[in-house]
Amino acid sequence: MGHLAIDAVRCKGCGLCIDACPRGLIKKSGKLNERGYEFVVLQQDAGQCSGCTMCAVSCPDQGIEVWNDRGRQSFVTTSGLTEKMTHYCPGCTHGVIHRIVAEVLQELGVMGRTIGVAPVGCAVLAYEYFSCDMFEAAHGRAPAVATGAKRARPNSIVWTYQGDGDLASIGGNEILHAANRGERITVIFVNNAVYGMTGGQMAPTTLLGQKTTTSPFGRDAATSGHPLRVSELLASLGTPAYIARGSVHDGAHVLKTKKLIKRAFELQRDDRCFSMIEVLSTCPTNWGLSPCEATEWLEKNMIPAYPLGVVKDSFAPPSHVPTAPISVPTGGV
């Protein structure tokens, strides 16, 4: 059994929680909140809530709290985020990624010695939302700023938050060399396949055939090349690293991606290696889709092009050694 509370003021009415609830207990209210969004409410039969937390895990605005038999799952007050409401569009999954990064930093108990670096892009105001120290870097330069911070304060946990335009386009050179130098930083690379902030232009990660404002007939490999798989590219370097790709298109994947992010920060805490987690993310506004359509589009189109999982783990435990006796050919001698 569970019980949940919806914060009508934080809610932007994106509807991702409606999709996430396996029992269909959440619906649109038909009313606007003070910010002009049609907020969601619980159905009459909310007593059916199992406490699975998927609604809260999927909410980009930290607008839902769940109580279940594991206690109070509070997604605003204990998450490591400030209480400030974000400027992101309804249904944009930047907010989900913010929360899982902040939760990991809280869980590892390192928030007080953490320095984040915000990018230029939709996440330019990320410094408003995390309860750690934050820098703002020039477009694409977050890995250089993070390198300086980490070398000056090696005991700090230093991380960057970067979009695909920021990291893979103007900052392509920066990320390549920071990874090759093996800087002990953690990079959260948010791949939404477009330049979100500036109006949906083609990014290096835009899919073949994907229409954007600068590829109105779809990305064409003959003139624009193929989608850049930055994770695989960096994994090919000889320098030890932890590189993985997750997605936040549904609650189960949000939780899996959080585990990848946790391992990345643990490796940095233990002074092991450079780490980068690429997170497939939505941009409903620039994709021209509703938030729920955008998560479906991501699953159907982005995951085949950008396979999920660990791409490189230089510190993975040794692979399984068979315990069954190895059969030795007998006879003859």
Enumerate binding residues for ligand TPP (CB under 6 A). Answer: 120-123, 139, 163-166, 170, 190, 192, 194-198, 203
Distance CA(254)–CA(299), nearest Å, equals 13
CB of 106 to ligand TPP, least distance (A): 24
* Alpha helices, DSSP H, located in the chain: 16-20, 54-58, 94-107, 142-152, 164, 172-181, 221-224, 230-235, 251-269, 284-287, 291-297, 303-305
Distance CA(280)–CA(201), nearest Å, equals 17
CB-nearest residue to ligand TPP? 163
Give the closest residue to 56 by CA, choosing from 9, 16, 114: 16
* Alpha helices, DSSP H, located in 210-250: 221-224, 230-235
Q: Which residues pair with 217 in a beta bridge?
A: none
Distance CA(120)–CA(286), nearest Å, equals 17
Tokens of 243: 């590189």
Distance CA(274)–CA(250), nearest Å, equals 28
Residue 261 vs residues 56, 103, 172, 197, 255: alpha-carbon distances, Å? 19, 10, 21, 24, 10
| Burial zone of 318 (CB within 10 Å; 0-12 exposed, 13-18 middle, 19+ buried) | exposed
DSSP 8-state code for residue 169: I
φ/ψ region of 30 (left if φ > 0, alpha if ψ in -120 to 50, else beta) reads left
Strands (E), the chain: 3-6, 26-32, 38-42, 64-68, 71-73, 114-118, 133-136, 157-163, 186-191, 194-195, 201-202, 241-247, 274-280, 309-313
Distance CA(33)–CA(129), nearest Å, equals 22
